């Protein structure tokens, strides 16, 4: 398809209120408009917006299903494979969750939205700064029990047990941590002011602590270490200065403010984690929760391994399942890595590895480490912000030409 034709299609896209769509999905909390009997999640504003965009898109006969410059080819190809793996699962007698099929369909529509999206990258940067600032303000209020939070269950007052961790506007503490990290990686690629980048780095770390998101905290900072060490544009003297400032900031938080959060990180014995994994996933002999060395540190991981063991046993029950997975049979896996294998099989895992070859190393590290303990892309918010990041990264070369 010629560039001229593509430009004409993007002009037609202006008929759809794309900026309103973009900002609304970004900022709108999880609020059900219409409940669905038998499901914890009803129809939300984002569902209606996605359907509206789809209707507008397919009503224009000039729009194509695929073109050579499609922005998210890798996602599109992988979603096609997921559809194939689900057909195989259905033929094998596996019951697929209809809610997951709908969510997959919505994700595909979002690919087409961003493929046709046209906005100055500098505007996106400003919107992201506003979003992260607003989330930080709300997260602090939630931490001090001044305001409650909005999740899939509706509004939760500050005294609710689910409000123990700050959620910001995202609807979940783990979502707040992942989204804040992704926003940092988005801004890092387009922000020339290193002071703003460093301040953003500190704010994101504070958000991760307020959200008590240990997995995201470790993943984010490991990825940032790679960014920091391999950035040749930063002089050694500035690297030393930034390292000193961050070390002081980190020790202050660790020793005086967020003692419990950092204890749960530094008291972790990696050998014991590997032991629990081996006993749960390989030997099917996971210790009981009463026999855990430290429930405060390992209980959440123990619950994960318990579920993972069930999923792994299920997928390894037949050769077809091992190759193509169980499809979208389960809603939650608490791990992107476990979901990849259980839902798509060995072929799906190989496919994912092939499609991520061009992913930047620091992003690969982040998604691997955070995805080890979090089912990242079950969240539409996280998927949406990931698409924003990839969109910005793909457009950054022309940021100052617009």
Residue 363 confidence (pLDDT) above 90: yes
pLDDT band at residue 16 using 50, 70 and 90 as cut-offs: low
**Which tens digits make up the pLDDT trace of 286-298?**
999 888 988 888 9
pLDDT band at residue 142 using 50, 70 and 90 as cut-offs: very high
How many residues are given for the chain?
A: 402
For residues 309 and 280, is the Cβ–Cβ distance under 8 A?
Answer: yes
Tell how far CA 336 is from the center of its chain: 10
Per-residue confidence (pLDDT) for residue 397, from 0 to 100:
55
**Which tens digits make up the pLDDT trace of 90-124?**
999 999 998 899 999 999 999 999 998 988 899 99
Residue 360 confidence (pLDDT) above 70: yes
Per-residue confidence (pLDDT) for residue 147, from 0 to 100:
92
CA-based radius of gyration for the chain: 22
Per-residue confidence (pLDDT) for residue 267, from 0 to 100:
86
pLDDT band at residue 391 using 50, 70 and 90 as cut-offs: very high
Average pLDDT, the chain: 88
* Higher-scoring residue by pLDDT: 264, 391: 391
Neighbour count for residue 23 (Cβ, 10 Å): 14
Relative orientation angle of helices 121-143 and 194-210, to the nearest 10 degrees: 40
* HEC secondary structure over the chain: CCHHHHHHHHHHHCCCCHHHHHHHHHHCCCCEEECCCCCCCCEEHHHHHHHHHHHHHHHCCCCCCCCCCCCCHHHHHHHHHHHHHHHHHHHCCCCCCHHHHHHHHHHHHHHHHHHHCCCCHHHHHHHHHHHHHHHHHHHHHHHCCCCCEEECCEEECCCCHHHCCCCCCCCCHHHHHHHHHHHHHHHHCCCCCHHHHHHHHHHHHHHHHHCCCHHHHHHHHHHHHHHHHCCCCCCHHHHHHHHHHHHHHHHHHHHHHCHHHHHHHHCCCHHHHHHHHHHHHHCCCCCCHHHCCCHHHHHHHHHHHHHHHHHHHHHCCCHHHHHHCCCCCCCCCCCHHHHHHHHHHHHHHHHHHHHCCCCCHHHHHHHHHHHHHCCHHHCHHHHHHHHHHHHHHHHHHHHHHC
* Poorest-pLDDT segment among 152-161, 213-222, 340-349: 152-161
Residue 302 to residue 166: CA distance in whole angstroms: 23
Percent of the chain residues past pLDDT 90, beyond the cut? 58
CA dihedral (24, 26, 30, 36) positive or negative? positive
**Which tens digits make up the pLDDT trace of 292-316?**
988 888 999 999 999 999 999 999 9
Structure token digits, residue 163: 């409000």
Supply angle C-alpha 78, 5, 58, rounded to 5.
Answer: 55
pLDDT band at residue 150 using 50, 70 and 90 as cut-offs: confident
**Which tens digits make up the pLDDT trace of 161-184?**
878 899 999 988 999 999 999 999
* Higher-scoring residue by pLDDT: 331, 208: 208
For residues 140 and 210, is the Cβ–Cβ distance under 8 A?
Answer: yes
Residue 396 confidence (pLDDT) above 90: no
For residues 211 and 149, is the Cβ–Cβ distance under 8 A?
Answer: no
């Amino acid at each position: 398809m010629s560039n001229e034709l593509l430009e004409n299609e993007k002009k037609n896209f202006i008929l759809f209120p794309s900026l309103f769509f973009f900002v609304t999905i970004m900022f709108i909390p999880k609020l059900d408009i219409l409940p669905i009997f038998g499901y914890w999640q009803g129809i939300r504003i984002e569902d209606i917006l996605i359907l509206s965009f789809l209707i507008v898109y397919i009503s224009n006969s000039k729009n194509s299903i695929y073109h050579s410059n499609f922005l998210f080819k890798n996602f599109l190809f992988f979603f096609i494979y997921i559809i194939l793996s689900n057909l195989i699962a259905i033929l094998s007698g596996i019951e697929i969750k209809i809610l997951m099929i709908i969510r997959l369909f919505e994700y595909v529509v979002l690919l087409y939205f961003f493929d046709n999206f046209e906005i100055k990258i500098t505007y996106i940067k400003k919107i992201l700064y506003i979003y992260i600032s607003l989330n930080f303000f709300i997260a602090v209020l939630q931490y001090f029990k001044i305001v409650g939070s909005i999740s899939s269950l509706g509004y939760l007052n500050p005294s609710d047990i689910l409000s123990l961790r700050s959620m910001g506007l995202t609807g979940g503490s783990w979502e707040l941590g992942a989204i804040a990290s992704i926003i940092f990686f988005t801004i890092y690629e387009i922000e020339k002011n290193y002071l703003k980048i460093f301040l953003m780095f500190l704010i994101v770390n504070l958000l991760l602590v307020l959200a008590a998101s240990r997995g995201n905290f470790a993943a984010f900072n490991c990825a940032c270490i790679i960014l920091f060490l391999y950035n040749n544009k930063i002089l050694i003297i500035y690297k030393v200065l930034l390292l000193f400032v961050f070390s002081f900031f980190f020790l202050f938080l660790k020793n005086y403010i967020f003692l419990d959060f950092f204890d749960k990180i530094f008291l972790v014995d990696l050998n014991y984690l590997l032991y629990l994994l081996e006993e749960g996933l390989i030997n099917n002999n996971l210790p009981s929760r009463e026999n855990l060395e430290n429930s405060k540190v390992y209980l959440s991981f123990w619950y994960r391994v318990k579920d993972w063991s069930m999923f792994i046993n299920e997928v390894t029950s037949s050769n077809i399942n091992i190759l193509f997975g169980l499809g979208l049979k389960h809603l939650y896996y608490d791990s992107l890595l476990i979901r990849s294998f259980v839902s798509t099989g060995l072929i799906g895992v190989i496919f994912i590895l092939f499609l991520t070859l061009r992913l930047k190393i620091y992003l690969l590290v982040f998604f691997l480490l955070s995805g080890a303990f979090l089912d990242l892309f079950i969240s539409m918010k996280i998927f949406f912000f990931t698409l924003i990041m990839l969109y910005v990264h793909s457009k950054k070369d022309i940021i100052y030409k617009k």
